[in-house]
């Protein structure tokens, strides 16, 4: 008969047996390599198991799951001294319901940040790792976004949805194979901008901070990039309605300069449809809600 032992993994990722922390690197790697869901039917209050020869090591957790990432290093997340997964910022989530990420109250911070894990589906982060990642996390409308800083100054924003996402909001993420300069992840010099589509209002929205390489005047964004952003957000309003098309006409009213290094809000709605012709309106606003540029676009559905 197999000997049975019982362990707890706490919210900081410490492996505890009889209130004693086990910290030997070799043992931790061995233990976590064998960790899996408890499929024995025994001790259901311990949902995980790490079998070892004639031993059954039952495991319960006090956090999100058995995997707690202990450090981020060289693009990887370590959950044991020698075990890690690739860090994929586009797969970060916030544990909880949509209301928890509105920036109002409750768990509105990134304390509940989670990432895909090899056991238990999702892994959480030790507090110091959460604080480290939090330095790259910013607001993105009702959600958050992780800013992936790149040496070429082409930063990437990765939207962090709540695990129980809002059914009213569709997230349009940059697609890996798409080469669109504005929204494709496959175009290395591009901006790979994500968007949210709000079903109740039919509105596409995004938030963008123009870098210095988008400047016309040293302090302000070039008008060509302003037009590009308006074209992109109108295209996402079209996509939100399940339509695809090409821009046939774009008129831009430049009302006030868009300052480099400040957060801009992009908005667009579909105005009407005449057979294959779709008429849309777009806006760029500053953080005070003032309209800096407005567009009217005609798209032809393909």
- Look up residue 129 and give its DSSP letter: H
121: left (phi over 0), alpha (psi -120 to 50) or beta: left
Does the CA dihedral 85-95-186-220 come out positive or negative? Answer: negative
- Token pair belonging to 252: 């831009």
Give residue 100's pLDDT: 43
CA R_g for the chain: 24
Q: How far is CA 213 from the centre of its chain?
A: 25
Write out the DSSP string of 171-194: EEPPBTT---TTTBTT-TTS----
Domain with CATH 3.10.129.10 in the chain: 167-302
Q: What is the pLDDT of residues 91-145, one digit of tens each?
A: 999 997 655 443 433 344 567 999 999 999 999 999 999 999 999 999 999 999 9
Q: How far is CA 262 from the centre of its chain?
A: 21
Q: How far is CA 212 from the centre of its chain?
A: 24
Give residue 53's pLDDT: 86
Question: How would residue 151 be classed by pLDDT, with cut points 50, 70 and 90?
Answer: confident
Q: What is the pLDDT of residues 235-247, one digit of tens each?
A: 999 999 999 999 9
pLDDT, mean over the chain: 93
Domain with CATH 3.10.540 in the chain: 3-61
Q: What's the CATH code, domain 3-61?
A: 3.10.540
Helix (H) / strand (E) element for 62: namely none
Architecture of domain 167-302: Roll (3.10)
Q: What is the pLDDT of residues 125-139, one digit of tens each?
A: 999 999 999 999 999
Put simply, whether the predicted model's pTM sits higher than 0.95 gets the answer no
Question: How would residue 290 be classed by pLDDT, with cut points 50, 70 and 90?
Answer: very high
Mean pLDDT, rounded, for 147-175: 93
């Amino acid at each position: 008969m197999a000997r049975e032992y019982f362990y707890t993994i706490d919210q900081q990722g410490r492996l505890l047996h009889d209130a004693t922390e086990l910290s030997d690197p070799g043992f931790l790697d061995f233990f976590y390599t064998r960790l899996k869901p408890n499929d024995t039917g025994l001790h259901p209050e311990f949902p995980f198991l790490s079998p070892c020869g004639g031993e059954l090591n039952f495991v319960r957790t006090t956090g999100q799951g058995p995997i707690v990432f202990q450090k981020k290093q060289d693009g990887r997340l370590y959950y044991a001294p020698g075990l890690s997964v690739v860090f994929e910022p586009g797969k970060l989530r916030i544990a909880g319901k949509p209301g928890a990420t509105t920036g109002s109250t409750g768990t509105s911070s990134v304390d509940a940040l989670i990432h895909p894990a090899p056991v238990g589906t999702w892994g959480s982060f030790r507090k110091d790792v959460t604080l480290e990642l939090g330095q790259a996390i910013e607001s993105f409308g009702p959600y958050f976004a992780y800013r992936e800083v790149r040496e070429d100054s082409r930063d990437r924003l990765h939207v962090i949805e709540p695990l129980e996402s809002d059914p009213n909001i569709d997230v349009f993420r940059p697609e890996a194979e798409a080469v669109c300069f504005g929204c494709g992840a496959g175009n290395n010099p591009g901006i790979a901008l994500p968007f949210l589509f709000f079903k109740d209002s039919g509105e596409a929205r995004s938030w963008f901070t123009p870098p210095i390489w988008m400047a016309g005047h040293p302090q302000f964004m070039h008008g060509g990039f302003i037009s590009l952003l308006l074209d992109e957000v109108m295209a996402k309003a079209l996509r939100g309605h399940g339509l695809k098309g090409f821009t046939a006409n774009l008129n831009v009213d430049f009302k006030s300069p868009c300052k480099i290094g400040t957060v801009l809000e992009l908005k667009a709605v579909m105005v009407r449809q005449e057979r294959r012709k779709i008429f849309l309106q777009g806006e760029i606003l500053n953080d005070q809600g003032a309209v800096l540029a407005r567009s009217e676009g005609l798209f032809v559905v393909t």
